[in-house]
Structure 1
């Protein structure tokens, strides 16, 4: 492993493309902290910066064998972090916009067409993701959210433990939140307004 830290980025990329996992480890170790600091400087948030860098390295790993760099590895990784940060900021602005509109929608009775269209679109996206949950998880989730059944009743109906019901619901919420990239509060607003 010590040999790898003496290699250039170009050599590491050549090894990585040939399937050498140690080359990836060296690139990760070489660049993680500087990319983290770069992301943290842009976001002013340590957790989000860590998530961004992890996402960049995951994407890098997944496409490393086909990757043809037109710039240096250093420049590529920095640009990837910058683009990911900008995407996150855009998504957060959109989430905040949705939250503000929904707040007006419920607090002030502001039933304007744009708000209703946005809310209906969000409902459609969530419904589609619920349909894609694993069958048993979807069944537990829908009994809880659509039928308003408590954990004990679902447990009894499906002949599973209360703990399993709770875990399935929490997993479903986690999956939906991750896939839709929306705050949990927005997901709860949707779930509490189902007809």
Structure 2
């Protein structure tokens, strides 16, 4: 049984550094609701806030040996929560902006039927090709191009090397580009591919 005493966080963190699951559970019970409420106050919905709680404690468990019991665990948690929430909100903003930009470009082409058809075909082919990618490549591709994550962020998130992420991104981009070329879509639209943020080029 973990004897917390007065310096409960310090004792729990020291035990956690040694791999104590009991200490981990103690800290989770103590701080999970607080993390949830902070996330909600930062404009996240119920499900996203619960996801933040899980992500924070997964990060803490994975990096438990780097914890410093002499520092405020509460302050450390708040810093992690804010960092993760801000990054998530930025990704959502990027995806929203991407969708709005694509829709705006389509509206700009109201009187250009041929371009609309080509664009729609490009989106259709891209979606089909993406579904044929190996799960790992597809996930990395989406994280890189739609969530706007860096290679380092993806590597950390997936717990793989940066080189592995880079190779998967390259292979996914190559598959998408070749498919568009085979369909004669890129050559037809030229600059229209910029609608996808130059993802494939």
Kindly state the Cα deviation for residue 22 of structure 1 after the two structures are TM-superposed: 0.5
Matched, 1:49 2:49: yes
- How far apart are the structure 1 equivalents of 2:67 and 2:85? 21
- How far apart are the structure 2 equivalents of 1:42 and 1:182? 22
Deviating above 2 A after TM superposition, structure 1's stretches of 4 or more consecutive aligned residues are 1-7, 66-71, 105-111, 129-134, 175-183
The higher relative CO (CA closer than 8 Å, separation ≥ 6) is in 2
SS at match of 2:51: helix
Q: List gaps (5 residues or longer) in structure 2.
A: 113-118, 148-175, 184-201
Question: Does the CA-based 8 Å contact 1:130-1:176 persist in structure 2?
Answer: no
Question: Does the CA-based 8 Å contact 1:4-1:23 persist in structure 2?
Answer: no
- Mapping of 1:65-144 within 5 angstroms? 65-68=65-68, 71-109=71-109, 131-133=133-135
What are the superposed Cα offsets for residues 75-112 of structure 1, whole Å, 9 maximum, x if unpaired?
1111111111111111111111111111122232299x
Kindly state the Cα deviation for residue 69 of structure 1 after the two structures are TM-superposed: 5.9
Q: List gaps (5 residues or longer) in structure 1.
A: 139-171, 184-189
Kindly state the Cα deviation for residue 49 of structure 1 after the two structures are TM-superposed: 0.9
- How far apart are the structure 2 equivalents of 1:19 and 1:38? 27
Kindly state the Cα deviation for residue 33 of structure 1 after the two structures are TM-superposed: 0.6
Question: Does the CA-based 8 Å contact 2:42-2:85 persist in structure 1?
Answer: yes
RMSD, matched Cα? 3.9
Question: Does the CA-based 8 Å contact 1:4-1:26 persist in structure 2?
Answer: no
